[in-house]
Amino acid sequence: MVLDNIEKLLKKYENGETTLKEEQVLKNYFSSDTVAPHLEMYKPMFDYFLVNQQEQFTKDVPLKTKNIFNYKWISVAAVAVLMMGFYFSPIIANSDCNDLGTYCEPEQALEEVSKQLAMISNHFNKGTQTVGYLNEVDKGTSALGYLNEIENTTSIIFKN
């Protein structure tokens, strides 16, 4: 009885006349294990349909929220920068050469320079004092000169 029904449905199915419900009946029948032997060739087809229903799209889609860039803001920023410029520029003009790290008065500059030079020469003298210790080394080497005497005597011994 069931088989009769299935065969009828299959015929309708092939003619494209089945409703979705009837197709579901067919799918259920063929996914069971009790398929009549002469209908077995349909089984892979319905199995395939069922398997393919499961396939999923796994890739991510980069959804970019489009930032519609508003050019108005550029003008706002430009105005702000300009205002800052106007606000700070007088200060720079007033401060003359002080910001450049030099002295404005020549006398003051001379004083400073001589101070610096004096400091440098001070340090330099300290350096030469420590170098004085090198004389000691010289003395040591002259003492080593006596070794030559020993060499002379050994050469005499080896000659004999």
Partner 1 sequence: MTQTEFLNIVMPFKDKVFRLAKRLLVSTEEAEDATQEVLLKLWNNKAKIEEYKNVEAFSMTMTKNFCYDKLKSKQAQNLKIVHSNYEEKNTPLQKQIELNDSVSWVGRIIEELPEQQRVIIQLRDIEEYDYDEIAKMLDMNNTAVRVTLSRARKAIREKLTKTHNYGVR
Binding site for partner 1 (CB under 8 A): 13-17, 20, 23, 40-42, 44-45, 47-49, 51-53, 55-57, 59, 61-63, 65-66
DSSP labels, the chain: -HHHHHHHHHHHHHTT---HHHHHHHHHHHHSS---GGGGGGHHHHHHHHHHHT----S-----------THHHHHHHHHHHHHHHHHHHHHHHTTTGGGTS-SSHHHHHHHHHHHHHHHHHHHHHHHHHHTTHHHHHHHHHHHTHHHHHHHHHHHHHH-
* Residue placing its CB nearer to partner 1 in the complex, 10 or 103: 10
* Residue placing its CB nearer to partner 1 in the complex, 57 or 69: 57
Q: How far is the CB of 75 from partner 1 (least distance, A)?
A: 27
* Residue placing its CB nearer to partner 1 in the complex, 36 or 76: 36
Q: How far is the CB of 83 from partner 1 (least distance, A)?
A: 37
